[in-house]
Chain A
Amino acid sequence: MADVQLAGITKSFGGVTVIPGLDLKVPDGSFTVLVGPSGCGKSTLLRMIAGLESPSAGEIRIGGTDVTDAEPSDRGISMVFQSYALYPHMTVAQNIDFGLRLAKVPAAERATRVAEAARILSLEPYLDRKPGQLSGGQRQRVAIGRSIVRNPEVFLFDEPLSNLDAALRTQMRVELAQLHQSIGATMIYVTHDQVEAMTLADQIVVMKDGRIQQVGAPMELYDRPASEFVAGFIGSPKMNLLPGRAIERDDVKTVGIRPEHLHIADDGQWRAAAKVVETLGADTIAYMDAEGLGEIIVRLPGHMRLKAGERLGLSPEIANLHYFGHDGHRMEHVA
């Protein structure tokens, strides 16, 4: 088992600096999710940890050892690619076995380990098939199988679920969480989907433009976003970000309130008209137009009947307001 430490990691492509000096600690055994909009440098960072890209400056340590210049195969890592990167000309068993064969592991041990991986991932019936004969979810499992047979200390995932349909994605998310629990290795997972980040991570790293915006447990980020960017990025539906004048404050640039922290009240301080109402069953999500403030999203109980065009008063839970200053950072102690 191993932790991963990044110190002063910088990456430039030609003259363009994609990651300008980044520090991060990924604790041993954690499930750390790197999340951020596409193009923010998540894959680049992951590829540097994997050794597929070398940093322009800085140091990478895995389990305390400096691996900045080590070959990918000498880092004790494995990686699952978005495209799965399975070898089309090999069977499922050969795909899973490939790394062991290269490492000259004795045949008997290889067979046991492949069988064990196939069992964990329910791939036993497919071992003799080629990847082309598998569904997306099965291919994904083979890619994971190929990672786990080598018993790496750190698993790297680059958007592994983004090629799957929504139902399968949810299912694989659960399986990945179970896998992490059962093998307990360190996992670093890249995604642009904050729902995946919230559900899988014990540590989320929010990135933007190659910089870390905030690191923390999912609910920490949800409850106390460090910046306006994180506030808007984490949570679905999104946090409402209203101008400071909504609460009559000039020093506050933006005030944030999550949809579930708004209530309908006749004497509410904001007046709003419903535009679109989505009934999800347990909840009703109302997209409303608040007078002078712009769009506002409200999460209401499932049986709340609300018609488009209806005008209401809204009142926020004062304790759950988030204040952001003109620099975009969270403001503490705003009375």
Chain B
Amino acid sequence: MQMLNTRTPRPARRFWHGARSSRLTAIAILLPPGLILFSLFVILPLTESGYYAFFDWNGYGTPEDYVGLRNFERIADHSVFHTAVGNTAKIIAVSLFIQMPLALFLALLIYRKTPTNALFRLIFFVPYILAEVAAGLIWSFVFDGNYGVTASIARSMGQESFFILADRDWAFVAVMTVIVWKYFGFHMMIYIAALQGVPEDLIEAAKIEGAKRPQIVRYVQIPQIRPAIIVSAFFAIIGALQVFDVIIPLTNGGPSNQTQTIVTYLYSFGLTRLKIGFGSAVGVLLFLAAILVAVFYQRLFMKGSRP
């Protein structure tokens, strides 16, 4: 991300000439390890799965059964894939319009450095530290229709016990609740760090000008942390594209594939059914989506250096 780079000023010409040979030496020494690792662990697997995507292959031996674009056609026609894409879009929407405002609201409450705030920060950050699978498991207990906390609450209110994770209409709402719970702390931390960097003078000047708290937030603090909000939205979108390990212990994509996301779809219909070629094709689509988001995002929001 360009905005996180500090741009180094162009060195003076004379210096440049003198430094050229030592720069080349530095490049020759420092570049290969990174380049080799990147090629080995990023470029190579990517090109490989790009290759497998055109085969019907179960993962054993060498792929031989070339099928052209048939994997992609089958994905495009598969209604579960449509649900998965729709669900991913819902996660993006919930992240942007519920999770981020919630994180910002909490960050505004506790960004100042006091002992109480430090405690709250820690509490709010715990879900993010927790392993995804553990979080999924915990919430599957919470949502359990027989023994879960939600069930007890429902019973105490005289309602029948309710298996929310098994409900076609409500299971994904439950999943999104868990996702918001799991990741809001991450966004909150980004905002806290940014809010702490807003000069106190600006806030005091606004108070003198007659701004009350909501106006200070709106006219001073939010514009000041705009770069952080842009970055956090980027992480929210990219993260939404990748949601997987929270869902497996919660619903495993069910009931009747209502809670699939793009990655759980890849896992359920590619890996577990030993259709590596098909899974690779999903992976390629996911990769393209991520690249598209990154490129558009860069164009739209991260262009130019903002003060």
Question: B18 an interface residue at 8 Å Cβ cutoff?
Answer: no
Q: Which residues of A contact B226 (CB under 8 A)?
A: 89
* CB within 8 Å for A50 and B208 given contacts A85-B199, A87-B202, A89-B224: yes
Q: Which residues of B contact A302 (CB under 8 A)?
A: none
Q: Which of B210, B220, B223 contacts A73 (CB 8 A)?
A: B210
Q: Which of A250-277 contact B (CB under 8 A)?
A: none
Question: A299 an interface residue at 8 Å Cβ cutoff?
Answer: no
Q: Which residues of A contact B64 (CB under 8 A)?
A: none
User: In whole angstroms, what is the CA distance A51 to B208 when docked?
Assistant: 8
Q: Which residues of B contact A77 (CB under 8 A)?
A: 208
User: In whole angstroms, what is the CA distance A73 to B224 when docked?
Assistant: 22
Residue of B nearest to A149 (CB): B209
Q: Which of A52, A130, A132, A146 contacts B209 (CB 8 A)?
A: A146
Residue of B nearest to A52 (CB): B204
Once the chains bind, are B210 and A103 in contact (CB under 8 Å)? yes
Question: A39 an interface residue at 8 Å Cβ cutoff?
Answer: no
Closest beta carbon of chain A to B265's beta carbon, Å: 42
Once the chains bind, are A85 and B204 in contact (CB under 8 Å)? yes
Is chain B's binding surface mostly helix, strand, loop or mixed?
A: helix
Closest beta carbon of chain B to A69's beta carbon, Å: 15
* CB within 8 Å for A98 and B208 given contacts A83-B201, A85-B202: no
Closest beta carbon of chain A to B218's beta carbon, Å: 11
Q: Which residues of A contact B206 (CB under 8 A)?
A: 98
Question: B39 an interface residue at 8 Å Cβ cutoff?
Answer: no
Q: Which of A51, A87, A103, A146 contacts B220 (CB 8 A)?
A: A87
Is chain A's binding surface mostly helix, strand, loop or mixed?
A: loop
- Scan A80-114; emit 1 where CB is below 8 A from any B CB, else 0: 01010101111000000011001100000000000
Closest beta carbon of chain A to B211's beta carbon, Å: 6
Interface residue tally for chain B (C-beta within 8 Å): 18
Contact-size category for A: 20 to 34
User: In whole angstroms, what is the CA distance A90 to B211 when docked?
Assistant: 15
Once the chains bind, are B208 and A72 in contact (CB under 8 Å)? yes
Question: B307 an interface residue at 8 Å Cβ cutoff?
Answer: yes
Question: B215 an interface residue at 8 Å Cβ cutoff?
Answer: yes
Q: Which of A47-93 contact B (CB under 8 A)?
A: 50-52, 71-73, 77-79, 81, 83, 85, 87-90
User: In whole angstroms, what is the CA distance A115 to B137 when docked?
Assistant: 64
Q: Which of A25-63 contact B (CB under 8 A)?
A: 50-52
Q: Which of B224-256 contact A (CB under 8 A)?
A: 224, 226
User: In whole angstroms, what is the CA distance A132 to B306 when docked?
Assistant: 10
Closest beta carbon of chain B to A298's beta carbon, Å: 44
User: In whole angstroms, what is the CA distance A98 to B209 when docked?
Assistant: 7
Q: Which residues of A contact B38 (CB under 8 A)?
A: none
Q: Which residues of B contact A208 (CB under 8 A)?
A: none
Once the chains bind, are A85 and B201 in contact (CB under 8 Å)? yes
Question: A150 an interface residue at 8 Å Cβ cutoff?
Answer: yes
Once the chains bind, are B205 and A79 in contact (CB under 8 Å)? yes
User: In whole angstroms, what is the CA distance A150 to B199 when docked?
Assistant: 23
Q: Which of A51, A85, A89, A132 contacts B205 (CB 8 A)?
A: A85
Q: Which of B187-219 contact A (CB under 8 A)?
A: 199, 201-202, 204-211, 215, 219
Closest beta carbon of chain A to B174's beta carbon, Å: 40
Q: Which of B199, B210, B211, B220 contacts A83 (CB 8 A)?
A: B199
Q: Which residues of B contact A71 (CB under 8 A)?
A: 207
User: In whole angstroms, what is the CA distance A51 to B210 when docked?
Assistant: 12
Once the chains bind, are A73 and B307 in contact (CB under 8 Å)? no
Once the chains bind, are B208 and A52 in contact (CB under 8 Å)? yes
Q: Which residues of B contact A79 (CB under 8 A)?
A: 204-205, 208
Q: Which of B210, B215, B219 contacts A87 (CB 8 A)?
A: B219
Q: Which residues of B contact A72 (CB under 8 A)?
A: 204, 207-208
User: In whole angstroms, what is the CA distance A67 to B202 when docked?
Assistant: 23
Once the chains bind, are B208 and A73 in contact (CB under 8 Å)? yes
User: In whole angstroms, what is the CA distance A71 to B207 when docked?
Assistant: 8
14 contacts between A and B (CB under 8 A): A52-B204, A73-B207, A78-B208, A79-B205, A81-B204, A85-B199, A85-B205, A87-B219, A88-B224, A88-B307, A98-B209, A102-B211, A102-B215, A103-B210
Return the 8 tightest CB-CB contacts between A and B, nearest first. Answer: A73-B210, A99-B209, A85-B201, A85-B205, A89-B223, A132-B307, A102-B210, A72-B208
Taking Cβ atoms with an 8 Å cutoff, the residues of A that contact B are 50-52, 71-73, 77-79, 81, 83, 85, 87-90, 98-99, 102-103, 130, 132, 146, 150
Taking Cβ atoms with an 8 Å cutoff, the residues of B that contact A are 199, 201-202, 204-211, 215, 219-220, 223-224, 226, 307
